[in-house]
Chains A and B, each alone.
Chain A
Amino acid sequence: MKSSNTQIMTEKAGSARSVGTVSGALHSAAKRMRKSWGLYVLLLPALILLVCFAYIPMYGVLIAFKNYRNTLGILGSAWANPWYKYFLMFFKSYQFWPAIQNTLIISLYGLVASFPLPILMALFINQMRAKRFKRMFQTVSYLPHFISTVVMVGLILILLSPSSGLVGGFYKLIGQEPPNLMGSANAFSSIYVWTDVWQHTGWDSIIYVAALSAVDPTLYEAATVDGANRWQKMRYMDLPMLMPTAVILLIMRVGNIMGLGFEKIYLMQNDLNIAASEIISTYVYKIGIISSQYSYSAAISLFNTIINLILLVTVNQISKRLSDNSLW
């Protein structure tokens, strides 16, 4: 019923186009829109919010090229002279390299450490034959994901504190002076990355476990008959199954390398580790919200967004060439 309907409709549209009248096409478009007006009503709230709080701020990016004054508004404020003044200011600022370096170091370190682990975990979960143990293991490993960032950082501060906590206690046990890990710039990226691994590896494995559950069980049986052991099944059957998912997730991670999250790092920052913990997003916050240099801050985040976008497109393109996996 439906297919014949749409067929007639497309045929009509086709004939209208073949006649070459624009009005015919417009007419059929209007007809289609009228027929499904209810759908536009359903779409409207999300669209309005999207325009107000995503697209209007995009227009607001203009202030990166202006000397923005709150009283004059975006249009009323004068253009910066030269227009790239605030970008130049950032490039020349002594914070420029450290912020970019820290962002990249923490991001790449995080990528290398935390990307393969969920895959490994899913491979093992998939091999677990003890049903109840498997379920318990999954429940426990997802658990830390639900700890809020604030509590997570609170936990880190407590456990690593030299005066109390696990690290302090351990060093006292072996009779040595405990180090102040949170006060050390060298330890910062490791603490950040490995606590992230602790918190999210289990959760991130879900998507791979889901992909593995799609493997046809008769394939395993066939492999067993052929004498494959479980290492071989994991290596030659399961791992290839995961590659498409892994590539897509990798593209998204790489595309977001400069967009390193604000929440956790900001809370972990202190005067002693700031040399390693000041990243672009925390710098944007301090410049923009705390010291109200609106145009300067907007320029920094625009620069960052553009780098991100270029990275994403590049990686996606490379992946398309090499493996046929791509976001679009």
Chain B
Amino acid sequence: MAEQVFKNRKNSSGSDTVFNFIMYGLAVLCLIIILYPLYFIVIASFSDPSAVANGYVWFYPKGFTLEGYQELMKQDNLWVGYRNTILYTAVGTLIGLAVNIPAAYALSWKDLFGKKLLTFLFLFTMFFSGGLVPTYLTVQQFHLYNTFWVMVLPFSVSVYNIIVARTFFQSSIPADLWDAAQIDGCGTLRYFFQIVLPLSKAILAVLGLWIAVWIWNSYFNALIYLKDQALYPLQLILRNILVTNQMQSAMGTGEAAQIALRRANLLRYSAIIVSTVPIMCIYPFVQKYFNQGVMIGAVKG
């Protein structure tokens, strides 16, 4: 009997070595596939664009230059876009939290009258919507078209975030707390602001980060609802630099067009770096909050 167990152990440790070999091999391959394209953009942004175009740049910069970044400094609208995006993100995140967190709390209340109906009202919008044009017309009716507020207010309700926050409240705020507070004559509002909120920093951080990243990264609402360049967020300006111009510059031929194309490419590499580095730098430090959020949502979603 003991021999049998021992034999099995030996077998399994042999196959475990193979297992580890395959697993870590695959993992390293994944890391390379994920990181190399990003690394390529970084070295390309410091390289002579002709060297990049001729396929000489693979592992380190060739013909070191900062031209791309210098060119970028002159792009005024990019910096206006940057400023706008920071504003939209800050205000939008505050509004998002102020709207979604209290709603989630109310819906987490066990014997809220009309809870089923109210929950249904929220959930229904996840599966059915008026569609693009009716929403567009509604935004116009509210005179929000082409204003600062259209970027932060109308679409700040996120049913998914509400569900995540509701699950958090249901599972991590003990019910006894309310009983105790009630004896002390505390109303639901005061209870929420003075007792529940200070205990909910984790969910505030998670949702705050989610909302901030979402606003920072999206361009759809700006594309539909903004007309003035002065209001454009970073992503819409980037779209002009990275995508729209790419299509146009691909048209030209000849020596001059080739040089212009290469300079435009250089500008693109540095624009990608400048716009993405802030999030990439902050992200590893707040990563645990992101994971937490997904896990809270996973409990019951």
Binding site for B on A (CB under 8 A): 1-2, 6, 29, 32-33, 36-43, 45-47, 49-50, 52-61, 63, 74, 121, 124, 127-128, 130, 133, 137, 139-144, 146-151, 153-155, 157-159, 161, 163-166, 168-170, 172-173, 198, 202, 206-207, 210-211, 224-231, 245, 248, 255, 262-263, 267, 270, 281, 284-285, 288-289, 294, 297-298, 301-302, 304-305, 308-309, 312
Contact = CB atoms under 8 A, between A and B. Distances in A.
B58 A169 contact: yes
20 contacts: A33-B114, A36-B109, A36-B188, A38-B189, A54-B129, A57-B130, A57-B134, A63-B134, A127-B23, A128-B27, A142-B290, A146-B213, A146-B279, A150-B235, A157-B243, A158-B269, A159-B40, A226-B8, A263-B219, A284-B133
A38 B133 contact: no
B175 to A, nearest CB: 6
B46 interface: no
A166 B129 contact: no
A42 B125 contact: no
A45 B106 contact: no
7 nearest A-B residue pairs (beta carbon): A57-B130, A60-B134, A169-B55, A227-B8, A154-B242, A301-B131, A38-B188
Contacts of A301: 131-133
B9 interface: yes
A294 B239 contact: no
B34 A228 contact: no
Contacts of A57: 129-131, 134-135, 137-138
B154 A53 contact: yes
Contacts of A47: 103, 118, 121
A173 B55 contact: yes
A278 to B, nearest CB: 16
A286 B6 CA distance: 69
B133 A143 contact: no
A58 B130 CA distance: 4
Contacts of B297: 207
Interface of B: 5, 8-9, 11-12, 15-16, 19, 23-24, 26-27, 30-31, 33-35, 37-38, 40-41, 44, 49, 52-58, 98-100, 102-103, 105-107, 109, 111-114, 118, 121-122, 125, 127-139, 142, 153-157, 162, 175-176, 178-179, 183, 187-192, 213, 216-220, 224, 235-236, 238-239, 241-243, 246-247, 250, 261-262, 265, 268-269, 271-272, 275-276, 279-280, 283-284, 287, 290-291, 294-295, 297-298, 301
Contacts of A302: 131
Contact of A248 (B129, B250, B301): B301
A61 B131 contact: yes
A309 B107 contact: no
A58 to B, nearest CB: 5
A63 B133 contact: yes
A100 to B, nearest CB: 16
B157 A54 contact: yes
Contacts of B5: 225, 227
A50 B217 contact: no
Contacts of A60: 130, 133-135, 137-138
A61 B130 contact: yes
A137 B132 contact: no
A54 B125 contact: yes
Given A158-B41, A229-B15, A301-B132, A143 B34 contact: yes
Contacts of B139: 53
Which of B121, B130, B142: most chain A Cβ within 10 A?
A: B130
Given A32-B113, A58-B128, A298-B133, A154 B55 contact: no
Nearest to A183: B250
A143 B11 contact: no
Nearest to A35: B188
B135 A288 contact: no
Contact of B188 (A39, A127, A137): A39
B173 to A, nearest CB: 13
Contacts of B301: 248
B77 to A, nearest CB: 15
Nearest to B107: A43
Nearest to A43: B106
A2 B162 CA distance: 26
B265 to A, nearest CB: 5
A163 B272 CA distance: 19
Contact of B121 (A2, A39, A50): A50
Contacts of B34: 140-141, 143-144, 198, 202
A225 B12 CA distance: 11
B247 A270 contact: yes
Contacts of B113: 29, 32-33, 36
A158 B54 contact: no
A46 B137 contact: no
Contact of A151 (B16, B213, B242): B242
A163 B53 contact: yes
B87 to A, nearest CB: 17
A45 B137 contact: no
Nearest to B190: A38
